[in-house]
Chains A and B, each alone.
Chain A
Amino acid sequence: MKRLVMASILALVIIAAAAAHPHVWIDSQFELRVSGNRIEAVLAYWTFDPFFTEMIVLDFGRGVNGTYTPAQVENIRANAFENLRRYGYFTYIDLDGRKIPVDSVRRFDVRLNEENFLEYSFEVSIDSTIDGRSSTLKVSMYDETFFTDIAYRNDYAIVSGADGSRYRKQLTRDRHMVPVWGPMTRETVEIVVERR
């Protein structure tokens, strides 16, 4: 019986080693733009790991002091970002129980930050009025293929334009089942914005 238990444990360890793993890491943060009683957009900021950063730099250059020209930004967007459209830009948004499709983004920008890490930013339009007394927005960012590991930074979200409005935010983690790959830990930021 002891041998059977040992063999089973070893077998399970082997099973645990047989799925996928990331090769790109992203630290993410987003800004929720509010104007009056309207929720306008989610502006996402992604900071990449040094290896992916240098791969992009090798292909597209460093810009000047980390700032890229509009032509360079468009080049990077077209060749090293826009393909994420097929993956929903790894962004999942729920507003008051309603899915917000992320099939296009706007205001893509790219730069090298103070530590020389690549940073992407892009905006997802929401354009919705606060429903009733308050609206609840939930934002998750993850790659279901596990090629990219996205984790929220400590300062995971900021709210701008909410002068006079009250809001509260929290970061939660749950298990999300991905077909074939299995369960993953999913991080979700929940922001409740109250009507003025």
Chain B
Amino acid sequence: MARIISSVMLIIVTTLPPPAQANPFFDRPPAGGSAAEAPAEMDHGPMGAVGWGDGFFGRLWADGTRTLSTWQRDLNRRLGLFLREVSQRGLSVGGWFGVLSFAFLFGLLHAVLPGHRKSVLISYCVADKARVVHGIGLGFLFAAMHALSAVVIVFVTVSLVEVSLGSTVARISRVTQIVSSVLLLAIGAAFCFLTGREILSHMRGADHGGHSHGGLCAATVATNHNPRTSKWVPVVLSTGIIPCPITTALLLFAVSVNAVVIGLAAVVALSAGLGVALAALAILTILVKEKVLALVEGKAGHLLHAGVELVGGVMILAVGAITLMLLL
């Protein structure tokens, strides 16, 4: 029973593809309709909502994201006012420390809030035989790519575009989301093919009698010692090319108040905060996977292990497909 519950939990973890987030001030709503109609009922009081939204986890989710968003609202305001002030007065050593600290905290908080393709990061960690040290690398690489793409897009746009920068950046973001979705489709398909092939060959061959490596057979252990790290690059690239909207907003802000150097430094600090949070998430995912799968031993365990990785690959495929459908 424990094994069944663990397996189901792991499958639930990997079955939440995020729809694309368009900028409503510039972009049309994602496929699936707009919110132009008022809700069927305006529910008031605790009896209003239905389903899991009104249960304990629904309240936790709604209240938790509300609180985090409020903190971020406050940080956003303080960072903006601070940047405006230092752009006029220049920056002392203490001022630099303040900007970088604020930006780091902002990045950390921003990443803790839902978003930033964390489902892709989670799915990858589930799909691949990643270890904790790989989780750290992945988290920081995701963050770095995410921020770097924003820097490139903003500065290219500022140099070349003479009309609305906000809407141009939003349109470029949309294009990168489409490209990213296509790449994720390809990567997800590759994952599924390779893992599926591993499952089939294991079902045809392999004797699992009488040994234990935390529940994994020798072949899997050997593979775990040599995870396929070459798969990092396409996953990081395909997800990281989407510019972080907060980073683009910060950079546009810096350009507007003539504080480009400070803006770039703030982006680096923000990315560091983002990286810490994403690395922590990757490590968490890897540890959960190891703990859960260690509960199951033998051939069934190995098949479950491979099956879970296949689900991870399917999730990456699903993220790419659903995001692409919503964008087109």
Residues of A at under 8 Å CB distance from B?
A: 1, 3-4, 6-8, 10-25, 49-60, 79-81, 83-88, 90, 92-94, 99-103, 115-116, 138, 140, 143-149, 151, 172, 174-177, 179-185, 188, 190
Contact = CB atoms under 8 A, between A and B. Distances in A.
Contact of B165 (A1, A23, A55): A55
A98 to B, nearest CB: 10
A19 B116 CA distance: 9
B49 A176 contact: yes
A166 B284 CA distance: 56
Interface stretch (B35-43, B184-192, B300-308): B35-43
A50 B77 contact: yes
Contacts of B79: 50
Contacts of B144: none
Given A14-B284, A59-B164, A80-B166, A174 B45 contact: yes
30 contacts: A4-B295, A14-B122, A14-B281, A16-B64, A21-B69, A22-B72, A23-B21, A23-B23, A25-B73, A49-B73, A55-B249, A55-B252, A84-B24, A88-B35, A93-B38, A94-B38, A138-B42, A143-B35, A145-B21, A146-B21, A172-B45, A176-B39, A177-B51, A180-B32, A182-B53, A182-B62, A183-B61, A184-B62, A185-B66, A188-B44
B284 A13 contact: yes
A18 B113 contact: no
Contacts of B167: 59, 79-80
B208 interface: no
Interface residues of B, number: 91
B250 interface: yes
Given A59-B164, A94-B42, A21 B53 contact: no
B268 to A, nearest CB: 17
B18 A20 contact: yes
A8 B281 CA distance: 15
B73 A149 contact: yes
Given A19-B114, A88-B37, A147 B24 contact: yes
Contacts of B76: 25, 49-51
B291 interface: yes
**6 closest Cβ pairs, A-B complex:** A50-B80, A183-B53, A19-B114, A51-B249, A21-B113, A21-B115
Q: A3, A51, A99: which has the most chain B beta carbons within 10 Å?
A: A51
A25 B246 CA distance: 11
A86 B29 contact: yes
